[in-house]
Amino acid sequence: MKKNLALILATGMVFSLVACSSAETTTEAPAEEATVVEETTDAADVATSEEVAADAASTEESTEESDVAVMTYEEYVAADLDTEVCVETYVQAKQSWWEDKATVYTQTEEGAYFLYNMACSEEDYAKLEVGTKIRVTGYKSEWSGEVEITDATFEFVEDGDTFVAEPTDVTSLLGKDELIDLQNQYVSFTDMTVEASTDADGNEVAFLYNWDGSGSQGDDLYFNVSIDGNTYSFTVESYLCDKDSDVYKTVEGLNVGDVVDLEGFLYWYEGVNPHITSVTVK
């Protein structure tokens, strides 16, 4: 009887221990799950905060870009160097494209803009046809006297009109201070006489490959022309008009003493240095 009672009591104690063990395990498990949920919630809150901040910054940046007002040419001229500018203008010629950057000559009826290394995809570069209207945002800069727009982006003006500039004859302004007021415009020069240049060997020639004669075919062409006793250096920019272009070949065929009419863009480098696009021998 004592043995049976002892057995019963022992059995009861085993069941009691098992029950206690199960109760303790069940009590601890939810605490672990609660910790995991709390950590997950904190991470989500952080991610959400970061996303909100990023969205806010993006919205602020977009707002700043859209707040740049389109300037008239007069306002652009009056703007200080190294300040942000925004203009609407028309493509007149494309000089080059390289690594998603384009250099473009543009003009309106009021004045002209030289866009240097403007951000531009190759696909968009192909769409920059002469006369196309674009809106450009960048910084007004100067390099050796040439005023240009740098660090620029652009967009096509939808349903925009077109404009192709006719050359303005500036022959009478050569040597005068007023000439710079037409900087970067499409201009012409009439009855200019080809003067001799001196090559690297000391020979007198009608043109040079590179400014000092150190180049070869395919490089920029430099040639001297004069009027009223004053001589000026003009350039065929090889990126704008390469060795296969009509103007490049015409300059290669010039002789000292030829009288020529010229057209091109009134570029500036330490003084007037037109980028010539057309030469007619008279």
pLDDT tens digits for range 113-153 = 999 999 999 999 999 999 999 999 999 999 999 999 999 99
Q: Answer whether residue 53 shows pLDDT above 90.
A: no
Question: Whose CA is closest to 276, among 201, 191, 188, 170?
Answer: 188
Cα–Cα nearest to 93, from 220, 249, 242, 197: 242
C-beta separation of 221 from 207 below 8 A: yes
Q: What digits encode the pLDDT tens for the residues 198-253?
A: 998 999 999 999 999 999 999 999 999 999 999 999 999 999 999 999 999 999 99
Which tokens in the block code for residue 3? 């043995």
35 φ/ψ angles, rounded to the nearest 5 degrees = -65, -45
- Among 23-32, 74-83, 201-210, the minimum mean pLDDT is found in 23-32
What secondary structure does DSSP assign to 98-151, as a single string? ETTEEEEEEE-SS-EEEEEEEE--HHHHHH--TT-EEEEEEEEEEETTEEEEEE
- Given a cut of 70, is residue 30 above it in pLDDT? no
The pLDDT score that the predictor gives to residue 65 is: 52
**Quick one: tokens of 116?**
């240097």
Is the Cβ–Cβ distance between 259 and 267 less than 8 Å? Answer: no
The whole-chain average pLDDT of the chain stands at 84
Helix (H) or strand (E) holding 250: helix 246-252
Q: Which two tokens stand for residue 64?
A: 């700043």
For residue 35, what pLDDT is reported?
A: 35
Whether the CB-CB separation of 98 and 61 falls below 8 Å is answered with: no
Tell me: pLDDT of 40 over 80. no
**Listed residue (34, 166, 45, 62) closest to 112, CA to CA:** 166
Under 8 Å between Cβ of 145 and 268: yes
Say which amino acid occupies 25: T
- Residue 23 confidence (pLDDT): 38
